[in-house]
Amino acid sequence: MEKILDRFLRYVAVDTQSNEDSESQPSTAKQLNLLNMLCSELNAMGVEAVVDEYGYVMGTIPSNIGKAVPKVGFIAHVDTAPDASGADIKPQIINEYDGGDIALKGVPGLALKPSEFPELKHFIGQTLITTDGTTLLGADDKAGVAEIMDAVQYIVSHPEFKHGEIKIGFTPDEEIGRGVVKFDVPKFGAEYAYTMDGGEIGELEFENFNAASAKIHIQGRNVHPGYAKGKMKNAILIGMELNALLPVEQRPEYTEGYEGFFHLIGFNGSVEQADITYIIRDHDRALFEKKKEVILECCRFINGKYGEGTATPVVRDQYYNMREQVEPHYHVVEKAVKAMEMAGIKPKIQPIRGGTDGANLSFKGLPCPNIFAGGLNFHGKMEYVSLQSMEKASEVILNIVSLYAES
Query: From CA 148, how far away is CA 152, in angstroms rounded?
Result: 6
Q: Exposed (0-12), middle (13-18) or buried (19+): which is 80, by Cβ within 10 Å?
A: buried
pLDDT confidence band for 28 (50 / 70 / 90):
very high
Model pLDDT for residues 77-123, shown as the tens digit of each residue: 999 999 999 999 999 999 999 999 999 997 888 999 999 999 999 99
Query: From CA 353, how far away is CA 282, in angstroms rounded?
Result: 9
Query: From CA 32, how far away is CA 115, in angstroms rounded?
Result: 39
Sign of CA dihedral 360, 327, 285, 354: negative
pLDDT score for 344:
98
Query: From CA 310, how far away is CA 233, in angstroms rounded?
Result: 9
Q: What are the E-state strand segments in 116-202?
A: 128-130, 166-171, 192-198
Model pLDDT for residues 228-268, shown as the tens digit of each residue: 999 999 999 999 999 999 999 999 999 999 999 999 999 99
Reported as type and span, the H/E element at residue 240 is helix 235-244
pLDDT score for 175:
93
For residue 262, give the 3-state DSSP assignment: strand
The CA-to-CA distance between both ends of the chain, in Å, stands at: 30
Kindly report the number of other CB atoms within 10 A of residue 253's CB atom.
Answer: 7
What lies within 8 Å, CB to CB, of 237 at 6+ separation is none
> Which residue numbers are catalytic?
79, 174
Answer yes or no: is pLDDT of 406 > 90: yes
Cα within 13 Å of Cα(207), Cβ side: 15
- Answer for the pair 31, 48: CB distance below 8 angstroms, yes or no: no
pLDDT score for 106:
79
Q: What is the mean pLDDT of residues 349-360?
A: 87
Query: From CA 313, how far away is CA 294, in angstroms rounded?
Result: 12
Q: Hey, where are the domains in the chain?
A: 4-208+321-405, 210-318
Average pLDDT over the chain, rounded to whole?
A: 96
Domain 210-318 fold is Alpha-Beta Plaits (3.30.70)
CATH class of 4-208+321-405: alpha beta
pLDDT confidence band for 40 (50 / 70 / 90):
very high
- What 8-state DSSP symbol labels residue 80? B
pLDDT score for 318:
86
- Answer for the pair 27, 20: CB distance below 8 angstroms, yes or no: yes
Answer yes or no: is pLDDT of 1 > 90: no
Query: From CA 130, how far away is CA 214, in angstroms rounded?
Result: 33
Answer yes or no: is pLDDT of 11 > 90: yes
Model pLDDT for residues 143-185, shown as the tens digit of each residue: 999 999 999 999 999 999 999 999 999 999 999 988 999 999 9
Query: From CA 395, how far away is CA 407, in angstroms rounded?
Result: 19
Q: What is the mean pLDDT of residues 345-373?
A: 93
- Answer for the pair 371, 196: CB distance below 8 angstroms, yes or no: yes
pLDDT score for 22:
95
pLDDT score for 384:
98
Model pLDDT for residues 269-327, shown as the tens digit of each residue: 999 999 999 999 999 999 999 999 999 999 999 999 999 999 999 999 988 999 999 99
Query: From CA 137, how far away is CA 13, in angstroms rounded?
Result: 9
Answer yes or no: is pLDDT of 354 > 90: no
Q: What is the mean pLDDT of residues 223-229?
A: 97
DSSP sequence for 301-367: HHHHHH-TTSEEEEEEEEE--THHHHGGGTHHHHHHHHHHHHTT---EE---SS--HHHHHHHTT--
Beta bridge partners of 264: 278
Q: What is the mean pLDDT of residues 216-225?
A: 98
pLDDT score for 88:
95
